Homo-oligomer: A and B are copies of this chain.
Protein backbone atom coordinates (compact mmCIF):
# COMPACT_ATOMS: atom_id res chain seq x y z
CA UNK A 1 0.00 0.00 0.00
CA UNK A 2 1.12 3.49 -0.83
CA UNK A 3 1.46 5.91 2.03
CA UNK A 4 0.50 9.53 2.13
CA UNK A 5 4.15 10.44 2.15
CA UNK A 6 4.82 8.74 -1.16
CA UNK A 7 1.88 10.47 -2.75
CA UNK A 8 3.05 13.78 -1.36
CA UNK A 9 6.49 13.29 -2.83
CA UNK A 10 5.12 12.38 -6.21
CA UNK A 11 2.92 15.45 -6.20
CA UNK A 12 5.70 17.63 -4.91
CA UNK A 13 3.84 18.69 -1.80
CA UNK A 14 3.75 17.72 1.87
CA UNK A 15 1.58 15.09 3.49
CA UNK A 16 -0.48 17.81 5.08
CA UNK A 17 -1.60 19.06 1.72
CA UNK A 18 -2.49 15.62 0.51
CA UNK A 19 -4.47 15.06 3.65
CA UNK A 20 -6.30 18.33 3.14
CA UNK A 21 -7.15 17.53 -0.43
CA UNK A 22 -8.44 14.09 0.42
CA UNK A 23 -10.70 15.35 3.12
CA UNK A 24 -11.89 18.39 1.22
CA UNK A 25 -10.71 20.82 3.78
CA UNK A 26 -10.32 23.60 1.24
CA UNK A 27 -7.14 25.64 1.85
CA UNK A 28 -5.61 24.15 -1.26
CA UNK A 29 -5.05 25.80 -4.61
CA UNK A 30 -6.75 24.37 -7.65
CA UNK A 31 -3.54 23.49 -9.43
CA UNK A 32 -2.02 21.82 -6.39
CA UNK A 33 -5.24 19.98 -5.79
CA UNK A 34 -5.12 18.65 -9.31
CA UNK A 35 -1.57 17.48 -8.94
CA UNK A 36 -2.36 15.74 -5.69
CA UNK A 37 -5.38 14.00 -7.12
CA UNK A 38 -3.32 12.73 -10.01
CA UNK A 39 -0.67 11.43 -7.69
CA UNK A 40 -3.31 9.70 -5.59
CA UNK A 41 -4.73 8.03 -8.65
CA UNK A 42 -1.31 7.10 -9.96
CA UNK A 43 -0.34 5.43 -6.71
CA UNK A 44 -3.77 3.96 -6.09
CA UNK A 45 -3.50 5.50 -2.69
CA UNK A 46 -6.03 4.82 0.04
CA UNK A 47 -5.69 6.38 3.45
CA UNK A 48 -4.88 3.98 6.24
CA UNK A 49 -8.03 3.99 8.30
CA UNK A 50 -6.29 2.66 11.37
CA UNK A 51 -3.78 5.45 11.42
CA UNK A 52 -6.53 7.94 10.91
CA UNK A 53 -8.59 6.42 13.69
CA UNK A 54 -5.64 6.54 15.99
CA UNK A 55 -4.96 10.20 15.52
CA UNK A 56 -8.59 11.24 15.28
CA UNK A 57 -9.49 9.20 18.30
CA UNK A 58 -12.52 7.77 16.63
CA UNK A 59 -12.98 4.55 14.77
CA UNK A 60 -14.76 4.18 11.44
CA UNK A 61 -16.73 1.19 12.63
CA UNK A 62 -19.72 0.55 14.81
CA UNK A 63 -20.19 -2.78 16.52
CA UNK A 64 -23.45 -4.65 16.51
CA UNK A 65 -23.86 -7.27 19.19
CA UNK A 66 -26.35 -9.99 18.55
CA UNK A 67 -26.97 -13.51 19.73
CA UNK A 68 -26.68 -15.36 16.46
CA UNK A 69 -26.95 -13.94 13.00
CA UNK A 70 -28.75 -17.13 12.06
CA UNK A 71 -31.93 -16.04 13.77
CA UNK A 72 -33.90 -14.53 10.87
CA UNK A 73 -34.68 -11.34 12.71
CA UNK A 74 -31.04 -10.40 12.92
CA UNK A 75 -30.13 -10.38 9.25
CA UNK A 76 -32.98 -7.99 8.61
CA UNK A 77 -32.00 -5.84 11.53
CA UNK A 78 -28.35 -6.03 10.59
CA UNK A 79 -29.06 -4.87 7.08
CA UNK A 80 -30.96 -1.85 8.30
CA UNK A 81 -28.29 -1.07 10.83
CA UNK A 82 -25.61 -1.46 8.23
CA UNK A 83 -27.35 0.89 5.86
CA UNK A 84 -27.85 3.47 8.56
CA UNK A 85 -24.21 3.14 9.57
CA UNK A 86 -23.12 3.55 5.98
CA UNK A 87 -25.09 6.76 5.73
CA UNK A 88 -22.87 8.01 8.52
CA UNK A 89 -19.81 6.73 6.73
CA UNK A 90 -19.26 3.89 9.19
CA UNK A 91 -18.69 0.19 8.77
CA UNK A 92 -20.44 -2.43 10.78
CA UNK A 93 -18.70 -5.02 12.87
CA UNK A 94 -21.08 -7.90 13.51
CA UNK A 95 -20.55 -9.72 16.78
CA UNK A 96 -22.21 -13.07 17.41
CA UNK A 97 -22.20 -13.54 21.13
CA UNK A 98 -23.76 -16.99 21.21
CA UNK A 99 -20.59 -18.80 20.38
CA UNK A 100 -18.23 -16.82 22.52
CA UNK A 101 -17.04 -18.79 25.50
CA UNK A 102 -17.70 -15.86 27.80
CA UNK A 103 -21.06 -14.90 26.34
CA UNK A 104 -19.56 -11.95 24.58
CA UNK A 105 -18.09 -9.90 27.41
CA UNK A 106 -14.56 -10.14 26.16
CA UNK A 107 -15.76 -9.55 22.68
CA UNK A 108 -17.44 -6.41 23.82
CA UNK A 109 -14.45 -5.21 25.75
CA UNK A 110 -12.05 -5.71 22.89
CA UNK A 111 -14.26 -4.24 20.25
CA UNK A 112 -15.49 -1.38 22.35
CA UNK A 113 -12.08 -0.21 23.34
CA UNK A 114 -10.83 0.98 20.04
CA UNK A 115 -12.01 -0.99 17.06
CA UNK A 116 -15.42 0.58 17.12
CA UNK A 117 -16.70 3.96 17.96
CA UNK A 118 -19.70 2.59 19.76
CA UNK A 119 -21.70 -0.51 20.42
CA UNK A 120 -25.21 -1.39 19.39
CA UNK A 121 -26.77 -4.15 21.42
CA UNK A 122 -29.58 -6.08 19.80
CA UNK A 123 -29.67 -8.90 22.31
CA UNK A 124 -30.22 -8.09 25.91
CA UNK A 125 -30.50 -11.76 26.57
CA UNK A 126 -27.03 -12.92 27.39
CA UNK A 127 -25.39 -9.58 27.93
CA UNK A 128 -26.08 -8.09 31.32
CA UNK A 129 -26.90 -4.44 31.64
CA UNK A 130 -24.23 -4.09 34.28
CA UNK A 131 -21.69 -5.20 31.80
CA UNK A 132 -22.88 -2.66 29.30
CA UNK A 133 -22.62 0.01 31.93
CA UNK A 134 -19.06 -0.84 32.64
CA UNK A 135 -18.26 -0.55 28.96
CA UNK A 136 -20.00 2.75 28.86
CA UNK A 137 -17.93 3.85 31.81
CA UNK A 138 -14.77 3.41 29.78
CA UNK A 139 -16.03 6.06 27.39
CA UNK A 140 -17.42 3.96 24.58
CA UNK A 141 -21.06 4.76 23.93
CA UNK A 142 -23.51 1.89 24.14
CA UNK A 143 -27.05 1.76 22.84
CA UNK A 144 -29.59 -0.96 23.40
CA UNK A 145 -31.21 -1.16 20.00
CA UNK A 146 -34.16 -3.34 20.76
CA UNK A 147 -35.66 -2.51 24.10
CA UNK A 148 -39.07 -3.94 24.78
CA UNK A 149 -40.19 -1.80 27.68
CA UNK A 150 -40.79 1.89 26.96
CA UNK A 151 -41.74 2.45 30.59
CA UNK A 152 -38.60 1.00 32.07
CA UNK A 153 -35.29 2.79 31.82
CA UNK A 154 -32.55 0.19 31.51
CA UNK A 155 -29.97 2.73 32.56
CA UNK A 156 -28.38 2.63 29.13
CA UNK A 157 -29.44 4.75 26.18
CA UNK A 158 -31.92 2.71 24.21
CA UNK A 159 -34.46 2.55 21.44
CA UNK A 160 -37.72 1.18 22.70
CA UNK A 161 -40.82 -0.13 21.03
CA UNK A 162 -44.06 -0.89 22.79
CA UNK A 163 -44.00 -4.63 23.20
CA UNK A 164 -47.07 -4.54 25.41
CA UNK A 165 -49.04 -2.89 22.66
CA UNK A 166 -47.76 -5.42 20.15
CA UNK A 167 -49.13 -8.24 22.28
CA UNK A 168 -52.32 -6.34 22.83
CA UNK A 169 -52.91 -5.68 19.14
CA UNK A 170 -52.25 -9.29 18.20
CA UNK A 171 -54.68 -10.50 20.81
CA UNK A 172 -57.29 -7.89 20.01
CA UNK A 173 -57.20 -9.12 16.46
CA UNK A 174 -58.01 -12.64 17.57
CA UNK A 175 -60.76 -11.38 19.85
CA UNK A 176 -62.20 -9.26 17.06
CA UNK A 177 -62.41 -12.37 14.94
CA UNK A 178 -64.52 -13.95 17.64
CA UNK A 179 -62.01 -16.22 19.37
CA UNK A 180 -62.43 -16.77 23.05
CA UNK A 181 -60.31 -19.78 23.79
CA UNK A 182 -56.85 -18.57 22.95
CA UNK A 183 -53.56 -20.24 23.78
CA UNK A 184 -50.27 -18.46 24.29
CA UNK A 185 -46.79 -19.50 23.28
CA UNK A 186 -44.17 -17.28 24.82
CA UNK A 187 -40.57 -17.33 23.72
CA UNK A 188 -39.13 -16.58 27.13
CA UNK A 189 -39.86 -16.84 30.81
CA UNK A 190 -43.03 -15.14 31.93
CA UNK A 191 -41.08 -12.09 33.03
CA UNK A 192 -38.35 -12.53 30.48
CA UNK A 193 -37.67 -10.73 27.29
CA UNK A 194 -41.15 -11.45 25.91
CA UNK A 195 -42.83 -10.56 29.17
CA UNK A 196 -44.20 -7.31 27.81
CA UNK A 197 -45.74 -9.05 24.82
CA UNK A 198 -47.35 -11.64 27.07
CA UNK A 199 -48.66 -8.99 29.41
CA UNK A 200 -50.21 -7.25 26.43
CA UNK A 201 -51.89 -10.54 25.58
CA UNK A 202 -53.22 -10.94 29.13
CA UNK A 203 -54.42 -7.36 29.34
CA UNK A 204 -56.23 -7.57 26.02
CA UNK A 205 -58.09 -10.64 27.22
CA UNK A 206 -58.89 -9.02 30.53
CA UNK A 207 -60.21 -5.90 28.83
CA UNK A 208 -62.77 -8.07 27.07
CA UNK A 209 -63.34 -10.20 30.13
CA UNK A 210 -62.08 -13.30 28.42
CA UNK A 211 -60.58 -15.81 30.78
CA UNK A 212 -57.01 -16.99 30.31
CA UNK A 213 -56.22 -20.37 31.78
CA UNK A 214 -52.75 -21.05 33.04
CA UNK A 215 -52.85 -24.34 31.22
CA UNK A 216 -53.29 -22.56 27.89
CA UNK A 217 -49.87 -20.94 28.04
CA UNK A 218 -46.39 -22.30 27.42
CA UNK A 219 -43.17 -20.53 28.20
CA UNK A 220 -40.13 -21.61 26.31
CA UNK A 221 -37.50 -20.74 23.84
CA UNK A 222 -37.63 -18.23 21.06
CA UNK A 223 -36.93 -20.46 18.10
CA UNK A 224 -38.63 -22.32 15.32
CA UNK A 225 -38.19 -25.63 17.08
CA UNK A 226 -39.21 -24.13 20.39
CA UNK A 227 -42.47 -22.97 18.87
CA UNK A 228 -42.97 -26.27 17.11
CA UNK A 229 -42.50 -28.33 20.24
CA UNK A 230 -44.52 -26.04 22.47
CA UNK A 231 -47.38 -25.96 19.98
CA UNK A 232 -47.36 -29.73 19.72
CA UNK A 233 -47.59 -29.96 23.46
CA UNK A 234 -50.22 -27.27 23.80
CA UNK A 235 -52.44 -28.51 21.01
CA UNK A 236 -52.22 -32.07 22.18
CA UNK A 237 -53.22 -31.28 25.71
CA UNK A 238 -55.74 -28.58 24.81
CA UNK A 239 -57.15 -29.40 21.39
CA UNK A 240 -60.18 -27.14 21.83
CA UNK A 241 -58.21 -23.95 21.42
CA UNK A 242 -59.32 -21.99 18.38
CA UNK A 243 -56.38 -19.62 18.27
CA UNK A 244 -52.82 -19.23 19.45
CA UNK A 245 -50.97 -16.07 20.25
CA UNK A 246 -47.24 -16.49 19.76
CA UNK A 247 -44.85 -13.91 21.13
CA UNK A 248 -42.56 -13.98 18.12
CA UNK A 249 -42.69 -14.89 14.45
CA UNK A 250 -40.12 -17.62 14.44
CA UNK A 251 -41.84 -19.81 17.04
CA UNK A 252 -45.13 -18.87 15.38
CA UNK A 253 -43.87 -20.42 12.17
CA UNK A 254 -42.93 -23.48 14.18
CA UNK A 255 -46.41 -23.54 15.66
CA UNK A 256 -47.89 -23.24 12.19
CA UNK A 257 -46.14 -26.37 11.04
CA UNK A 258 -46.83 -28.20 14.27
CA UNK A 259 -50.51 -27.47 13.85
CA UNK A 260 -50.43 -28.73 10.30
CA UNK A 261 -48.65 -31.87 11.33
CA UNK A 262 -51.39 -32.52 13.87
CA UNK A 263 -53.97 -32.18 11.14
CA UNK A 264 -55.22 -28.72 12.01
CA UNK A 265 -56.21 -26.55 9.13
CA UNK A 266 -54.91 -23.03 9.60
CA UNK A 267 -56.84 -20.75 9.73
CA UNK A 268 -60.09 -22.77 9.48
CA UNK A 269 -59.49 -24.88 12.57
CA UNK A 270 -56.96 -22.73 14.27
CA UNK A 271 -55.74 -19.15 14.00
CA UNK A 272 -52.14 -18.25 14.68
CA UNK A 273 -50.69 -14.81 15.11
CA UNK A 274 -47.08 -13.79 15.66
CA UNK A 275 -45.13 -10.63 16.39
CA UNK A 276 -42.34 -8.89 14.47
CA UNK A 277 -43.15 -9.33 10.79
CA UNK A 278 -39.96 -10.95 9.62
CA UNK A 279 -39.75 -11.67 5.92
CA UNK A 280 -40.47 -15.35 6.36
CA UNK A 281 -43.99 -14.60 7.55
CA UNK A 282 -44.99 -13.82 4.00
CA UNK A 283 -43.38 -16.98 2.70
CA UNK A 284 -45.12 -19.50 4.92
CA UNK A 285 -48.19 -21.45 3.91
CA UNK A 286 -50.52 -19.92 4.93
CA UNK A 287 -48.79 -16.56 5.23
CA UNK A 288 -48.59 -15.57 8.86
CA UNK A 289 -50.67 -12.81 10.35
CA UNK A 290 -48.43 -10.83 12.62
CA UNK A 291 -47.89 -7.54 14.38
CA UNK A 292 -45.11 -5.60 12.72
CA UNK A 293 -42.45 -4.04 14.83
CA UNK A 294 -40.68 -1.00 13.38
CA UNK A 295 -37.43 -2.82 12.70
CA UNK A 296 -35.97 -0.36 10.23
CA UNK A 297 -36.90 2.57 12.42
CA UNK A 298 -35.22 1.00 15.41
CA UNK A 299 -32.08 0.32 13.47
CA UNK A 300 -31.89 3.86 12.17
CA UNK A 301 -32.67 5.49 15.45
CA UNK A 302 -30.17 3.29 17.23
CA UNK A 303 -27.42 4.34 14.90
CA UNK A 304 -28.42 7.97 15.08
CA UNK A 305 -28.43 7.84 18.84
CA UNK A 306 -25.10 6.07 18.96
CA UNK A 307 -23.53 8.62 16.65
CA UNK A 308 -24.88 11.40 18.80
CA UNK A 309 -23.41 9.84 21.89
CA UNK A 310 -20.11 9.25 20.15
CA UNK A 311 -19.85 12.90 19.30
CA UNK A 312 -20.78 13.90 22.83
CA UNK A 313 -23.96 15.57 21.74
CA UNK A 314 -25.37 16.86 25.03
CA UNK A 315 -28.98 16.38 24.05
CA UNK A 316 -28.75 12.71 23.23
CA UNK A 317 -31.89 11.27 24.84
CA UNK A 318 -31.82 8.39 27.31
CA UNK A 319 -34.56 6.66 25.41
CA UNK A 320 -35.95 6.95 21.94
CA UNK A 321 -39.43 5.56 21.35
CA UNK A 322 -40.51 4.19 18.01
CA UNK A 323 -43.82 4.29 16.24
CA UNK A 324 -46.42 1.81 17.45
CA UNK A 325 -46.58 -1.76 16.20
CA UNK A 326 -49.14 -2.43 13.53
CA UNK A 327 -51.23 -5.45 12.62
CA UNK A 328 -50.34 -7.19 9.38
CA UNK A 329 -53.32 -9.25 8.45
CA UNK A 330 -52.40 -12.28 6.41
CA UNK A 331 -53.83 -15.74 6.00
CA UNK A 332 -53.19 -17.52 9.29
CA UNK A 333 -56.08 -15.97 11.16
CA UNK A 334 -59.83 -16.18 10.61
CA UNK A 335 -63.03 -16.40 12.57
CA UNK A 336 -63.36 -19.62 14.57
CA UNK A 337 -65.29 -22.34 12.84
CA UNK A 338 -67.64 -22.92 15.75
CA UNK A 339 -68.84 -19.39 15.41
CA UNK A 340 -69.14 -19.47 11.66
CA UNK A 341 -71.26 -22.60 11.80
CA UNK A 342 -73.28 -21.43 14.75
- A contact residues vs B (CB 8 Å cutoff): 1, 44, 46-51, 53-54, 59-61, 68-70, 72, 74-76, 78-79, 82-83, 86, 91-96, 99-100, 109-115, 134, 137-140, 224, 253-254, 257, 260-261, 279-280, 283, 285
Contact between A114 and B70, CB atoms less than 8 A apart: no
Chain B residues contacting A74 (CB-CB under 8 Å) are 75
Contacts A46-B114, A69-B69, A260-B285 known; list 18 others, CB within 8 Å: A1-B139, A46-B109, A46-B112, A46-B113, A47-B114, A50-B59, A50-B115, A51-B54, A61-B115, A69-B82, A70-B79, A72-B75, A79-B99, A86-B99, A91-B95, A91-B111, A93-B94, A261-B285
Do residues B46 and A50 form an inter-chain contact, with CB atoms below 8 A?
no
* Beta-carbon contact of B60 and A115 below 8 Å: yes
Q: Which residue of the partner chain B has the closest CB to A83?
A: B99
Collect the chain B residues with CB atoms within 8 Å of residue A91's CB. Answer: 93, 95, 110-111, 115
Checking B69, B254, B261 against A78 with a beta-carbon cut-off of 8 angstroms, the contacting residue is B69
Bound: A76/B254 CA distance, A? 19
Take A47-B113, A93-B92, A283-B257 as given contacts and tell me if A79 and B86 are in contact as well, using a CB distance cutoff of 8 Å. Answer: no
